[in-house]
Amino acid sequence: MSGSKVRFALETIAGVLPEPRRATLATFTTADGASIDSGLLLFFPGAASFTGEDSAEFQVHGGKAVVAALLETLTSLPGVRHADAGEFTRRAFLNGKLDLVESEALADLISAETEAQRRLALLNADGAQAALYSAWRGRVISAMAMIEAELDFADEADVPESVAGGVWGDIGRLVEEIQAHIAGFHRSEIIRDGYDVVIVGPPNAGKSSLLNALARRDAAIVSDEPGTTRDLVEVSLDIDGFKIRVTDTAGMRDGSGKVEAIGIERARNRAKSADLVLLLSDLSAPHVETPELGNSNIVRIGTKCDLLVDGLGKNGFDILVSSRTGRGIAELLRALGDRAVIATGDRGDVLPSRLRHVELLRDAAAGLQASLDNDGRGLELRADDLRRGAERIGRISGAVNVEDMLDVIFSQFCIGK
């Protein structure tokens, strides 16, 4: 629990206010003195707590009835209620313990399923992303400060002549840095949402069998009837700590029925947007023309290699597999993992982790770029564009503070001494 009623609540139901940050054995009782359970109590006084307010944690025997009785007793106290979803983090943000980006990263850390997701979230929760944006915003604010200084205090001796002229080079570099950072968004999308692999090929090529072999369960129906799969069937794999989504699709052929045709259309759309296409051909069947997929990231896979006499070469295929014997499956899993690693790039890179960040950054870069274009305009107008850039970057982390601009002016030039 967190908030101004924590001390009162602890004294009421545990009879003690424990020493800060030390596990203390206590007996918890209801308002009329009946014992609920005994367990450990931890008290974190504000402002050093996670939320910045007085907080407490209870360790009780985990049975549902015990927890329900404790919650019931706590919420019956005046001014105590159940927390809303994310409310502890929200209070931490409002109390200046975390910025918005760190709050989002904390949510990502809590929901991380793979090692890559955990690493990215932890990097951002530790403030790497927030530090980058705050450094960028700082650069724009000092540029504005220089211009402001030139406009307001040009007659002061401490302001070097035309300091403002020097800022545009840095703003130009900053626009490029922001754009390079935005370009990394797809890498963080792959880490968060998974590397998107789509299996396509003619009917009966063994697509659903391969999906099942990769997933090691019967996720999709397999039969010798061509046109078995009509809808998209998706499974998520964890390969070397990366989330990889594999989607099985309807076999592509002409002259199919109405429902199957819809399935084929879906297959085409998914193949177009996929990070990687696995294009399957049945090695034991006559060759079928490859459909146009609109995606150049293709791994060609020859299937049912158990039906062939040994010694056949790869014959234009990247990998030969047999879902029946398992041959080639480990090689394919390795190839998928390797490609996911390449697609997500360097592990230590700071990446934008939300579309919200990207949208604000685009807007910020546009503002900064506008300040560079039309350099014949007055400095006031160009400073306005910079202000828009700084404001957008500040909005990402939830920090918008006009005071710091003045700080920069006076700390750099000793004006008004």
Burial of 165-197, coded b for 16+ CB within 10 Å and e otherwise, reads eebeeebeebbeebeebbebbbbbbbbbebbbb
Closest distance between ligand GTP and the C-beta of residue 211, in Å? 8
Mask for 310-349, x = binds ligand GTP (CB under 6 A)? ------------xxx-------------------------
The span of 127-135, 200-208, 325-333, 345-353 binding Mg ion (CB under 5 A) equals: 200-208
Q: Which does 209 bind (CB under 5 to 8 A by kind): ligand GTP, Mg ion, none?
A: ligand GTP
* Tokens coding 55: 């907080």
What is the three-class DSSP state of 338? helix
Peptide bond connecting 47 to the previous residue in cis, omega within 30 degrees of 0: yes
Nearer to ligand GTP, 114 or 229 (CB): 229
Query: Which has the closest alpha carbon to 43: 73, 15, 77, 7?
Result: 7
Q: Which helix (H) or strand (E) holds 174?
A: helix 167-183
What is the three-class DSSP state of 303? strand
Q: Which does 227 bind (CB under 5 to 8 A by kind): Mg ion, ligand GTP, none?
A: ligand GTP
Nearer to Mg ion, 203 or 367 (CB): 203
Q: DSSP code of 62? A: -
Residue among 2, 204, 229, 247 that touches Mg ion (CB under 5 A): 229
Spatial distance between the Cα atoms of 268 and 250, rounded to a whole number of angstroms: 9
**203 belongs to the binding site for ligand GTP (CB under 6 A):** yes
Closest distance between Mg ion and the C-beta of residue 206, in Å? 8
Residue among 46, 227, 345, 398 that touches ligand GTP (CB under 6 A): 227
Per the listing, tokens 């047999």 go with: 322
Spatial distance between the Cα atoms of 72 and 27, rounded to a whole number of angstroms: 16
Beta strand 24-29 with 35-44 is: antiparallel
Mask for 260-299, x = binds ligand GTP (CB under 6 A)? ----------------------------------------
The span of 36-44, 58-66, 200-208, 342-350 binding ligand GTP (CB under 6 A) equals: 200-208
Closest distance between ligand GTP and the C-beta of residue 62, in Å? 45
Which phi and psi (to 5°) does residue 158 adopt? -75, -15
Q: Under the rule (CB under 6 A), what is the footprint of ligand GTP?
A: 203-209, 222-224, 226-229, 250-251, 303-304, 306-307, 322-324
Q: Under the rule (CB under 5 A), what is the footprint of Mg ion?
A: 207-208, 228-229
